[in-house]
Amino acid sequence: MGSFFRGQEKYLNSVEWLSKNSIHLSEPTECTPQEFEFLRHIVKDKRIVWLGENGHNIREHNMMKSKI
């Protein structure tokens, strides 16, 4: 039983970290280019930026990558 609570605590800590360190975007169909301004300082001097693969042919992934 003790390992369950340790796992639950680890999960809750992860959720808290994600909440504090995530940037929330609009839905892919409503997202505007201005919502990606936070990336400007991250990729400013980069020649190549890898956006990752299209996970399981999910249309929204391609929509967001196109907008970026």
User: 55 or 14: which carries more pLDDT confidence?
Assistant: 14
End-to-end CA distance of the chain: 45
Total domains present in the chain: 1
Q: Which two tokens stand for residue 8?
A: 């639950």
For the stretch 30-56, pLDDT in tens is: 999 899 999 999 999 999 988 887 667
C-alpha 32/C-alpha 15 separation (Å) is 26
* Domain extent for 13: 2-67
Handedness of CA 60, 44, 38, 50 (dihedral sign): positive
Largest CA distance in the chain: 51
Q: Which bin fits 27, alpha (ψ -120 to 50), beta or left (φ > 0)?
A: beta
Question: Residue 4 pLDDT > 70, yes or no?
Answer: no
